[in-house]
Amino acid sequence: RAADKYGVRLFATLFPVTDELNDVGGFKFPRSKAHLREIDDYITAVVSHFRQYESLWTWVLQNEPGSGGTRVAMTDLAREVYDRWLADFPPEERGEGYLKADFTQEKFLTYYTTWYLNHIAQLVERLDPQRGRHINPHQILGTLPDYDFPAYSKFLTSVGASLHLSWHFGMFSQREYPLGVSLMSDIIRHNALGNPFWITELHGGNVTASGNVPYCPTAAHTAQYLWTAIASGAEGVIFWSLNQRAAVMEAGEWGLLDFLRRPSDRMLEAAKVASVLQRHGEEFRELKPAPAPVTLLYNIASLRIQRRNAVALPSEFRPRIESFVRNGGKLIVTGLSGFYDEDMRCLFMNGFPLKSCFGAEVSEFKVAGEYFTLGEELPAHLWRGILVPASGETMMTDGGDVAAVRNRYGRGEVVWVPSPIELGGYHRDMAPLTAFYGRECRDAIDAAPASFRTPEPDVLMRTMRKEGVLTTVIVNKRPESAAIRLRTGRYGVPRVIYGDASVKGAQVTVGADRCAVVVWSR
């Protein structure tokens, strides 16, 4: 009633506290057939009651689905679903046959998650067909194999994510948190498959005990995460949470309000961001993330297999890769990419299936020390791949071995460096790696609507575009102000609409650990 009165739109999450755990996450699967019937009764009662309110906008079917595990506990319900699923599962995909890895349990976890979410969605849709249906995957970089986003697109109207820096950002340092927000937003926007994407839960306040890392965003950090999400295409951001819980798990944590129920500096800064969006609503309307001329490729099967061994290149992607290159694309392949297929068979034995496209075969990988220099240029990590060229032209040698090739294939080309140069650069010296990609991706970088004129360490930029307008969000994570020189092509008239920044020509100066939003017009 209060939401109706004050014009608040509600995302309503169906499942309550998990009583037996005294936590706030909720259970992932029904405990039995009887429990499923109780769940259905609960959903029927709650949805039927609250559907009368205009403020109710979207039902969140389950809080943070996905366990990140490898097996489903075989209850009477799970066993019944498993037996039906297995009967329809092609034998060749069950891990049956000579020396094939068995991922049946992991694949069933993915299926069972989908089955349960679809069960909830169908019941909610029957009871309240006018409202949206939503989920918020969490721990995205670890739980992606649990999710079947194409299947979800049939019963969801939007897709979100929980981005809790204290829980979910373990591979990032705090200065890289905006990069993590950017990466995870891109993954969810891609997997929303045309549906709207939201940040359903963004880290709101202090965490003292309930996360992996004690952390409290500053007001400036809150703005950085908000603007990064917006520039990544998020249609909305919801904080976890407005006020702190009073007891048990997460007591006294996560809130945008302080203990005296006053707005924190984080909340006041979020309000400033909201006011900018309101004042410049017409400019932001129809803005979309600018298409990226360079794309990072990943696959979910590889993430599943990597829990046991190295990276995988499933067979379903090989014809797509060949077609992409043949039709004029450029592919840069590094590290141990393609070591396994989806059944954990080594692709470099018994005839590498992408030899014609990549222009070479791998002789072997040698452990070369935690960090080493490839040739005279690129730092690399642990494994040194040795190539035997076929149609490929040698790009780099190392100790008499071929370390990299360039291969023309159709109208496109492949650059293959089978050593982990990204890890080497990330942990040692990024300058050689940056120079390598600067050379290999120069045409694509120059074609981008906005780009850095020179490398800018610890600076993140996201770009949005519509006809006649370019909007850049620039996050400076350096401990001092940064003068950042940009290329903006046809967009040459700048206006700073948010942030501690100034613009002179195509140079934007942003304060230390601050972000700025600049609108460029033709």
Q: Once rounded to an integer, what is the mean pLDDT over residues 311-338?
A: 95
pLDDT of 97: 57
pLDDT of 101: 82
Whether the predicted pLDDT of 98 surpasses 80: no
Q: 468 by DSSP, 3-state: which?
A: coil
Reading the block at residue 77, the tokens are 């319900």
Q: 327 by DSSP, 3-state: which?
A: coil
How far apart CA 248 and CA 209 sit, in angstroms, is 11
Which tens digits make up the pLDDT trace of 433-471?
999 999 999 999 999 999 999 999 999 999 999 999 999
The distance from CA 120 to its chain's CA centroid, rounded to whole angstroms, is: 25
Q: Once rounded to an integer, what is the mean pLDDT over residues 264-280?
A: 97
pLDDT of 68: 72
Whether the predicted pLDDT of 93 surpasses 70: no
CA distances from 111 to 89, 115, 172 (A): 11, 6, 30
Whether the predicted pLDDT of 95 surpasses 60: no
pLDDT band at 308 (very low <50, low <70, confident <90, very high): confident
Contact by Cβ (8 Å): 417, 374: yes
Q: 329 by DSSP, 3-state: which?
A: coil
Whether the predicted pLDDT of 376 surpasses 90: no
Which tens digits make up the pLDDT trace of 115-170?
999 999 999 999 999 999 999 999 998 899 999 999 999 999 999 999 999 999 99
pLDDT band at 340 (very low <50, low <70, confident <90, very high): very high
Tell me the residue ranges of DSSP E strands in 175-294: 199-203, 237-240, 288-289
DSSP 511: -
Closest CA to 159 of 256, 60, 243, 77: 60
Q: What are phi and psi of 426, to 5 degrees?
A: -60, -40
The distance from CA 444 to its chain's CA centroid, rounded to whole angstroms, is: 22
pLDDT of 96: 56
pLDDT band at 311 (very low <50, low <70, confident <90, very high): confident
What residues contact residue 129 under an 8 Å CB cut-off, 6+ apart? none
Q: Once rounded to an integer, what is the mean pLDDT over residues 269-288?
A: 95
How far apart CA 86 and CA 362 sit, in angstroms, is 37
How far apart CA 107 and CA 291 sit, in angstroms, is 32
Cα R_g (the chain), whole angstroms = 25
pLDDT band at 17 (very low <50, low <70, confident <90, very high): low
pLDDT of 210: 87
What residues contact residue 488 under an 8 Å CB cut-off, 6+ apart? 449, 450, 470, 472, 494, 506, 520
Which tens digits make up the pLDDT trace of 159-171?
999 999 999 999 9
Whether the predicted pLDDT of 21 surpasses 80: no
Closest CA to 157 of 288, 234, 66, 58: 58
User: Which residue would you say has higher pLDDT here, 301 or 382?
Assistant: 382
Q: What is the DSSP string of 265-319?
A: HHHHHHHHHHHHHHHTHHHHTT-EEPPPSS-----HHHHHHHTTSS-B--GGGHH
Q: Once rounded to an integer, what is the mean pLDDT over residues 285-306?
A: 89
Which tens digits make up the pLDDT trace of 39-71?
999 999 999 999 999 999 999 999 999 887 778
Reading the block at residue 490, the tokens are 């046809």
Whether the predicted pLDDT of 205 surpasses 60: yes
Percent of the chain with pLDDT over 90: 81
Which tens digits make up the pLDDT trace of 418-442?
999 999 998 889 999 999 999 999 9
